[in-house]
Structure 1
Amino acid sequence: MKQVNLRIYQMILPLLLGLFLSVGVYAQNVTVKGHVKDALGGVIGANVVEKGNTSNGTITDMDGNFTLTVPQGATLVVSFIGYTTQEVAAAPSVVVTLQDDAELLSEVVVVGYGRTKKDDLTGSVTAIKPDELSKGITNNAQDMLVGKVPGVDVITSGGTPGAGAQIRVRGGSSLNASNDPLIVIDGLTIDNNTPTGMSNPLAMINPNDIESFTVLKDASATAIYGSRASNGVIIITTKKGKSGAAPSVSYNGDMTVSMIQKKYDVLDANEFRNLVGQLWGDKAGEVGMGNANTDWQDEIFRTAISHSHNVSVSGGVKNIPYRLSLGYNSSDGIVETSWMRRANVGLNLSPSFFDNHLNMKIYAKYMYEKDRYADAGGAIGAALSM
C-alpha cells in the first residue's frame, strides 16, 4: 500500500512542478492589445516594436489596433511618418495618441485651389515665409524671389525702378512658346501678358501685402492647372485679418539711397584733345574740338533716394475678418530720367455664415503706377538743362 502511494506521489510531483514552471515562464511575457490614434482617429500602418529588439514588432490594422507579445516590463516604441515617436510601457491594454512633428508638419502651403500639409505633397514644392524673403529694395514682387528659391531664376531687365523681370522655373522648355510660369494671386490666375502701362504682372501687388510665396516646379502643377502650368506655378497669398481680433494698425516704411558703384575710367576732354592731336597732327585743328571739359557721367548719373510707406488696419468684426492696406512707393533710378511712382489700395474680407458652413472671400485691389524709363535723349536733355 505504501508503494502504491509512493508511486502516486512520484507521478503527481513532476506534474505539479511542470505546471509551476510553465506558469512562471508565462508570467514573464505579456500580450499587449493596443490602439494607436491621432487627432482624427485610428492610425493605419503605425510601427510598434519592442525597444531594444526590432525583430519583435508589428503594425496597426485598418482601425489602428495591434497585438504584440513582449517580456514583462518591456517598452514599446510607436512611430509613424510625420509624427513624433513615442515610447510607452508594455501593459495588457495600451492607447497611444501620436502628435504631429512640428518641424515637419507645421508648414502649410497653398496648392491649387486649396491648402495641404507639405508632407502630403508628391511634387516639388517650395514655400517661402515673409521673414525668408529678400530684404532691401523691393519695388516689385519678383524682387522678393531673387536668390531664394532653388531652380527659379529671376533676371531683371535692368536697374530701372519698376523694370520687368524674366522668371524661369527650372529653365526654358520651349523655343517658340512662352516659358513664363503661371501666376496665381489669392486663387485668381493672372494672364502672363503684361498689362498696358505696367512693367510686369507682379507690379500690381504691394510687396508689403504678401504673406507667402509657393512655387510648384514639376508636372504635378500641370495636373491642377492644366497646360498653362507647364512652366511652373507661382502662388501668392496675401495677408488677411483674423476673426474676432481687435483692430490693429501697423506701419512699415523704408528709405534707400542708391549710387553707382564706380565710374568708367575714360579720358577727359583735354586728354582726348591731346590724343587727337597726336594722331592727326595739324589736321586736328580742322575738326574744331572746342574748349569744353564736361564729365558726362557726373551729369547723367545721380545719387537716388527712394522711399516707401505702407499702412494697414486689420482685425475682425464677429465673423468678418478684414484687412485694409494703403501703400505708396516713390523710387528714383541712378540715371537722371528714370523713376517710378506707385500707389496701392487693398481690401480683404473673409466673412463666414451658418456656423462656418458658408465661407466667402472678397478681394478688392486698386493700383496706380507711373514709370519713366531712362533713354539716351532724355538723359542728355536733362544734363544739358543743368
Structure 2
Amino acid sequence: MIAVLAMTALVAAPPLAAQQTGTVTGRVVESASLAPISSAQVYLQGTSIGTLTGENGRFLILNVEAGQHTLVVERIGYQTVTQAISVQAGQSTTVNIEMEQEVLGLDELVVTGEAGAARRREVGNTIAQINLNDVAEPAVNMESLLQGRATGISITEASGSAGSGAQIRLRGNVSVSQSNQPLIYVDGIRMRSDPYPKNVPPVGYSGRSANISPSPLNDIDPASIERIEVIKGAAATTLYGTEASAGVIQIFTKKGTRGDAQWTAQVDQGFNWLKSFGPDSAPFMRLDPWLRGAPSIFGGGISDAWKNEFGDDFPDIGYQGTAWRQKYYLSVRGGLETMNYFVSGSWEDNEGVFPEDREEKMNLRGNFTFTPLEDLTVQW
C-alpha cells in the first residue's frame, strides 16, 4: 500500500522546473497613437532571456524564473522603457508597455534578432539617423536633405536642369558590375533606386534630349518625412543581401496621432540663376553642331525644328537669367480612438535657366492606421 501511494505521488508531481518558472506576455504600443510597435527588443535585465515583438506589438517570454525582475523594452527612435515585474511560478504575467518617441539624443540600437540588446556604439555597424525635427531650414528636395547630414554620403549633381537627379554614393563606388546606388526603402517598401531613363528613341537620339535623369527620391516631399536611417558597410549586406553592398537608405514618413486635427502649411519661393559667360569663354549654345544646322547622319530635322521655334540668334535665346521656383505644401494629422490619419499634398513649379526648361510636380500622400480590435491593426 505504501509503495502504491509513493508511485502515485511521483507520477502526479509536475517537473521541478515548471514549479519554479512562469511566463511573461504583453503588448508594446506607441503612447501617442496606440499603434503597435513591431521588432522592439523585450528582455529581462541581467539575463539573456528576451524576444522581439511581432507585427501586432505582442511578445511572449517563456521559462522566466519566479521572482522579481526588471523588464526592458527598446526600439530605435523611442525612449527606453524599464518596468519592475513579479513572476509567479506556473503563472503568466501580463505587461502592457507604451513607448514615447525620442526626439533628441537618440540611443540607437541594432536589431539583430537575438535576445538582449546591442547598442550602436558597441558594434561595428554604421547606422546614421536624420531626424527632421532637428533640421531647422526646409529642404528643397530629398537629395539636399541628405547632403552634409550624415558621414560618408557623397551627392553629386548630374545637371543644372530643373528636375535633374543627383548621384548618391555611400562610401564611394563598391562594385564594377552592380549598381552603386544605395537601396531605398519607404516605410518598409522597396522603391526604385536608379534614376528614371530618358524618354528618347533608342537609336540615334540618345545624346539629343535634355540632359535630365530624374531621381525617384525627389518624388517624396521632405515635409512628409519623419526620419531617415542610412545603413553603410557590411551591415547593409548582412541585413539586405548583396544588392545592398552600396548601402541602404530607409525613409519613414509621418503618421497620424490621436487628438484634434493639426494643420501645417508651408510656402517656399526663390529663384535660381546662372552666371553669364565671360569674354574669354566660348558661347555654349554654338558648341553643338546640331544647333548650328550641321547635317546629321540620321537624316537631320531636329535642327530645323529648333530654328522654327527659336530662330538663328542663339545668344539671344541662351540663358534666361533668373529662374523662379515656388512650392506650396499643406498637411493635416490627427486621430480618434480607433483610427489615426496623416494626409499631405503639395504643388511645385520650378523654372530652369535654359530655354523650355521647367519642372512641375504634384504630390499627394496619406498614412492611415485603423485598429478596430485590440488584436487587429490595419495600416495603409
Name the TM-score class by shorter chain.
Answer: 0.5 to 0.7
Do 1:43 and 1:64's aligned partners in 2 also have CA atoms closer than 8 Å?
no
Find the residue that maps to 2:119 and give its secondary structure.
Answer: helix
Q: Residues 263 and 358 (structure 1 numbering): CA distance in 2 closer, same or farther, change over 3 Å? A: same
Do 1:160 and 1:333's aligned partners in 2 also have CA atoms closer than 8 Å?
yes
**Per-residue displacement from partner, 1:247-300 (whole Å, max 9, x unpaired)?**
11110111012223x3222169xxxxxxxxxxxxxxxxxxxxxxxxx8937852
Aligned: 1:145 with 2:146: yes
> Taking structure 2 as the reference length, what is the TM-score of the superposition?
0.56
Structure-2 separation of matches of 1:132 and 1:338: 34
Find the residue that maps to 1:179 and give its secondary structure.
Answer: coil
Do 2:165 and 2:195's aligned partners in 1 also have CA atoms closer than 8 Å?
no
- The residue aligned with 1:265 is 278
**Per-residue displacement from partner, 1:140-185 (whole Å, max 9, x unpaired)?**
3122111221101111102222211111111111123211110000
**Per-residue displacement from partner, 1:222-259 (whole Å, max 9, x unpaired)?**
222112211100000111111x2111111011101222
1:218 to 221, 230, 233: 233
Q: Which has the larger radius of gyration?
A: 1
1:228 to 243, 249, 260: 243
**Per-residue displacement from partner, 1:74-115 (whole Å, max 9, x unpaired)?**
xxxxxxxx99xxxxxxxxxxxxxxxxxx899645689799xx
Do 1:300 and 1:336's aligned partners in 2 also have CA atoms closer than 8 Å?
yes
Question: Alpha-carbon deviation of 1:341?
Answer: 0.2
Question: Alpha-carbon deviation of 1:320?
Answer: 1.1
- The residue aligned with 1:361 is 379
User: Greater share of helix residues, 1 or 2?
Assistant: 1
Structure-1 separation of matches of 2:342 and 2:179: 35
Structure-1 separation of matches of 2:118 and 2:159: 35
- The residue aligned with 1:255 is 269
- The residue aligned with 1:330 is 349
Find the residue that maps to 2:242 and give its secondary structure.
Answer: helix
- The residue aligned with 1:180 is 181
Aligned: 1:239 with 2:254: yes
- The residue aligned with 1:311 is 330
Structure-2 separation of matches of 1:107 and 1:235: 18
Pairing 1:78-89 to 2, within 5 Å after superposition: none
More RCO (CA 8 Å, sep 6+): 2
Find the residue that maps to 1:324 and give its secondary structure.
Answer: strand
Find the residue that maps to 2:148 and give its secondary structure.
Answer: coil
**Per-residue displacement from partner, 1:14-43 (whole Å, max 9, x unpaired)?**
xxxxxxxxxxxxxxxxxxxxxxxxxx7863
Structure-2 separation of matches of 1:318 and 1:103: 24
Question: Pairwise CA RMSD of aligned residues?
Answer: 3.9
Do 1:135 and 1:144's aligned partners in 2 also have CA atoms closer than 8 Å?
no
Structure-2 separation of matches of 1:255 and 1:220: 40
Aligned-partner residue type, residue 126 of structure 1: A
Q: Residues 307 and 130 (structure 1 numbering): CA distance in 2 closer, same or farther, change over 3 Å? A: same
- The residue aligned with 1:277 is none
Question: Alpha-carbon deviation of 1:134?
Answer: 8.1
Find the residue that maps to 1:224 and give its secondary structure.
Answer: helix
Runs of at least 4 residues off by over 6 Å: 62-65, 102-105, 109-113
Aligned-partner residue type, residue 350 of structure 1: T
Do 1:257 and 1:305's aligned partners in 2 also have CA atoms closer than 8 Å?
yes
Do 2:259 and 2:335's aligned partners in 1 also have CA atoms closer than 8 Å?
yes
- The residue aligned with 2:191 is 190
- The residue aligned with 2:119 is 119
Q: Residues 301 and 136 (structure 1 numbering): CA distance in 2 closer, same or farther, change over 3 Å? A: farther
Find the residue that maps to 2:236 and give its secondary structure.
Answer: helix
Do 1:134 and 1:146's aligned partners in 2 also have CA atoms closer than 8 Å?
no
- The residue aligned with 1:351 is 370
Q: Residues 328 and 106 (structure 1 numbering): CA distance in 2 closer, same or farther, change over 3 Å? A: same
User: What's the % identity of the aligned pairs?
Assistant: 26
Q: Residues 174 and 249 (structure 1 numbering): CA distance in 2 closer, same or farther, change over 3 Å? A: same
Structure-2 separation of matches of 1:109 and 1:344: 33
Find the residue that maps to 1:180 and give its secondary structure.
Answer: coil
1:43 to 22, 45, 50: 45
Find the residue that maps to 1:351 and give its secondary structure.
Answer: strand
Structure-2 separation of matches of 1:354 and 1:309: 38
Aligned-partner residue type, residue 171 of structure 1: G
Q: Residues 212 and 118 (structure 1 numbering): CA distance in 2 closer, same or farther, change over 3 Å? A: farther
Do 1:301 and 1:335's aligned partners in 2 also have CA atoms closer than 8 Å?
yes
Structure-1 separation of matches of 2:193 and 2:342: 27
- The residue aligned with 2:91 is none
Count residues with an aligned counterpart: 246
- The residue aligned with 2:167 is 166
Q: Residues 298 and 249 (structure 1 numbering): CA distance in 2 closer, same or farther, change over 3 Å? A: same
Structure-2 separation of matches of 1:143 and 1:112: 31
> Taking structure 1 as the reference length, what is the TM-score of the superposition?
0.55
Structure-2 separation of matches of 1:315 and 1:111: 30
Q: Which runs of 5+ in 2 are unaligned?
A: 1-41, 48-64, 69-78, 81-101, 200-212, 282-312
